[in-house]
Structures are given as structure tokens and as C-alpha cells.
Structure 1
Amino acid sequence: MSEPVFPQRLLRTRLYEQVAEQITAWIADNNLREGDRLPPERELATRLGVSRATLSQALVALEVIGVVAVRHGDGTVLRGGGATRIVEAIRSHADRLPEIIETRDALETKIASLAATRRTDEDLARIDDALDAMADDIAAGGRGVEGDERFHGAVTAAAHSLLLARLMDEIGDLIKESRIESLSQPGRPRDSLAGHRAIADAIRAGDPAGAAEAMHEHVAMVSDVALLRPPR
């Protein structure tokens, strides 16, 4: 007797994935185009009948796949193009994240170690400027995305390794996606800033082992993102 054939198990759709699809359907129904702004989150959540927390998570997912841009002080703005199969695009991004995180950890821990032995006064000044920019943005209610990017760029430059800098540049866009997702987690911008300061302190002290450990702990912390958590 042949073995029975069971239907393939359906993947459980996360609530924020459903909401992301609702948002894109609402955008299409209202004929919105690139550059148009979505209503404030409170208003949009009411229209869609979902909580603001779930709406925020859906908007972040749409941001990392290029459908919208969330700008501090300017709201959520539609970008050109974007995905048409929303859930598939979100999950494709999520599938890439573990490898991105693994690669980032390997590269940046080495970069931090080298920066602690090779940094110049000019390098330290750039690192401090990036920390100040991130702190100012967070204090004003932003996520500190640009300051975060500047900080990691300054640390990479301080390592004075052209090959490592080139490798970081190769995965820059992928890291930017994960950066947006990470800094959108509640409380994450301030935690990330604290991690940056620990890295900077070790680099300034000329402590390569301490800088590598601080960077490893930082990457591990910022890698805890909603896209990688099981559905609830």
C-alpha cells in the first residue's frame, strides 16, 4: 500500500505581515504615488483597525524592503517601485538576516580590534562626531540611523584596512536593512548608542581585545529583531 500524501503545511502568517499587505492594498486603493505621505500612524492604525505597535512593525517591514521611507519629523513617505508580493519579500529579507549578521560579526569584530591599534586622533574625532550625531538624533525623537551608520563607517576607517573596508562596502546595503529593523525596536536606539560608546572607549584605550569583545556584544544585541522571532 502506498504511503498517504499529506498536504504541505502552511506557513503561519505573522500579524504584521498581514497588516503590511493591508497597507499596500490601502495605498493602491487610494492611488498614492512615490513621494506621497501616509497618514499619521495613529490615524492609519484606526483606519486599518490594528494596534499602533503592530502597525509600526508592519511599516518597518515595508521600509526594509523598500516600499516606504520613515523619516523623523516627516512621517512615512512612499518610495518608488517596491515589492508586489509583500509577505514573500519580507520573508526573503528575513531569510538573509542570519547570514548578514554572521558576516557582519566576523568582519566588524576584526575591524574594531585593528582600530584599537591603528586609530589616529583624526579617527577618534570622527568616531566622537558620529556618537554625538546619533545622540542628538535620539534625543530629538529619532532612531539614530544615520549616526549609527557614520559610527560604524568611522570605526572601519580607523582600522586602516582597504580590503576590510571594501568587504564592508560590499554588504553595506544589507547591513542598512538590518540597521533600520534593529533601531526600530523599542528602546534599541539608546541601547545601541551605549554599545557604540563601549566600543569607542576600548578603541580610545588601545585595547584590541576589549574593542573586539565590545563589538561582538553590540552586534549580538542589535541582531535581536522581530523579523527573526517566531510567529505569535
Structure 2
Amino acid sequence: MSEALRPMVRSRLYEQVLERLRAHVTEAGLKAGDRLPAERDLAASLGVSRASVKQAIVVLEVQGLVEARHGGGTYLVRDTLDVEPVEQLVERRKRLPDVLEAREALETKLAELAAERRTDAELADIRLALDFMRDEIAGGDFGVEGDRRFHAAVTAAAHSSLLAEFMKTIAAQITESRTESLRQPGRPSRSLAQHTAIYEAIAAGEPKKAAMAMRRHVQTVAKVRLLDWVPED
């Protein structure tokens, strides 16, 4: 059967709510820190159930676009609601556990080797990446580029061509996991502190301590709202 004649997918009601919320934020000129209307009011205005509104809010939380404060309403984290298609979220949710498992195995060993093999110049590169990430976060960004540079510098300092090649083959998936983690509320500053601990262990030439610090960091990366989300049919 041709692709054109595949079964049609009916749009979920909460996905329509997501689109309406995105349009509302734009039309109302809402910015980061502004509060969205209460779920009850949204349900009444849109003519849908509160369950549909709640499902939409959860998807926005998963994407790090809003923060739902217990008993205090829902607030924008960014200036817009550029919502990622739900199907893309579902697919990333499926592959994320495997990526995180691979990262823990590979990067723990890379940190250990970096503590044993790094040169002074390579240690300086790790430090520069750490400083870059700190500046990004201080400027209001998530620190994604600094994070990428840090892990790349640790990989280079490990002097393991095969492990580096393995990292390269899953680079796109690592980028997804990095972005997913760093958009969690409060995560950039926590990640920076963990990177600092990894750097200090590598600088001190303590392989076991560096491996432990990296394992702790990747386990934190794995704690994302996306993996707690159960997609609604």
C-alpha cells in the first residue's frame, strides 16, 4: 500500500490545546516568568475537559517550557511556547534510556583515563570549557555548548581512539540527552558543579575519583521529566 493511503491519525485533543496555548502566549505578549491562566479557566474558555488541559501542561513541563508550582499556578520558563511535536517526544523517550546507559559506560571510563593520561594543555582545555559553560549559565543560557566542549575535552584527554570513535557514533543522541537534561529546572547550575568536581579529580590525577564523579553526573543527566511522562493516547 502506498504511503499516501496509510491510516489517518486523529489529532489528540490535548495537542490542539497546546497549539491554542502557544498562540495565546504570542497574542498576549507573555514572557518568561508570566503566569498562564488557571487550568479551570483554560478548560472553560477552550470548551474542553480539565484533563485535556492538564495533559497539555504536562507536555509543556516535559519540554521545560513551563514550571507548574504546587498550588501556585503555571509559569512560563521561556518567552515563547515553541512546542516540539508530541510524536518526536515519544520517539526520544524510547531511545533515551539506551543513550544514557551508553554514556555512563563510555564517559565513566573516559574520565578515569583522562585523570591518568591528560597533559597540562589538555587540562587547560577542560578548564576553558568549564569557564565557557559558567559564562553561558551566568548569561541566562542552559550551558549546552560549554557542556559539549567539556565532554569533548575530557574525551581528548583520555587518549583512547576507540572510545572516542564510539562517542562520535552516538554524538547526535548525546546532544539530545544533553539538551534534555540541561532544560530541567535548576539543572544548569547543578551540572556546572558536577563538571567542576570531574575537572578537579582529573587535575589531581585521581582516576577512581574522576570516574565516580562522572558516573554521578551521568546519573543526574538521566533524571529528566521526559522519562516520567506517560504519553496519552
Fold conserved between structures, TM > 0.5:
yes
Q: Name stretches of at least 5 consecutive residues in structure 2 with no aligned partner.
A: 1-11, 43-52, 66-77
Contact 2:62 2:226 (C-alpha < 8 Å) held by counterparts: no
SS at match of 2:113: helix
Contact 1:144 1:189 (C-alpha < 8 Å) held by counterparts: yes
After TM superposition, the runs of 4+ consecutive aligned structure 1 residues lying more than 2 A away are 17-27, 38-46, 48-51, 53-61, 74-78, 86-89
TM-score (norm 1): 0.70
Letter of the 2:227 partner, please give it: L
Where do residues 209-220 of structure 1 align in structure 2 (5 Å cutoff)?
209-220=208-219
Hey, what's the Cα distance between the residues in 2 that align with 1:114 and 1:130? 18
TM-score (norm 2): 0.69
Q: Name stretches of at least 5 consecutive residues in structure 1 with no aligned partner.
A: 1-16, 31-37, 62-73
Contact 1:118 1:158 (C-alpha < 8 Å) held by counterparts: yes
Hey, what's the Cα distance between the residues in 2 that align with 1:187 and 1:169? 28
Letter of the 2:86 partner, please give it: V
CA RMSD of superposed structures (Å): 3.5
Where do residues 100-179 of structure 1 align in structure 2 (5 Å cutoff)?
100-179=99-178
2:94 maps to which residue?
Answer: 95
SS at match of 2:217: helix
Letter of the 1:212 partner, please give it: A
Letter of the 2:178 partner, please give it: R
Contact 1:124 1:204 (C-alpha < 8 Å) held by counterparts: yes
Letter of the 1:195 partner, please give it: Q
Hey, what's the Cα distance between the residues in 1 that align with 2:206 and 2:90? 39
Instruction: Work out the percentage of aligned pairs sharing the same amino acid.
Output: 46
SS at match of 2:142: coil
Hey, what's the Cα distance between the residues in 2 that align with 1:58 and 1:228? 9
Contact 2:130 2:150 (C-alpha < 8 Å) held by counterparts: yes
Which of 33, 54, 61 is the matching residue for 1:57? 61
Hey, what's the Cα distance between the residues in 2 that align with 1:99 and 1:180? 16
1:12 maps to which residue?
Answer: none
Q: Which segment drifts farther, 207-216 or 87-96?
A: 87-96
Letter of the 1:93 partner, please give it: R
Q: How many residues align?
A: 192
Contact 1:123 1:154 (C-alpha < 8 Å) held by counterparts: yes
Hey, what's the Cα distance between the residues in 2 that align with 1:21 and 1:166? 43
Question: Residue deviations 1:122-144, cap 9 Å, x none?
Answer: 11111111111111111121111
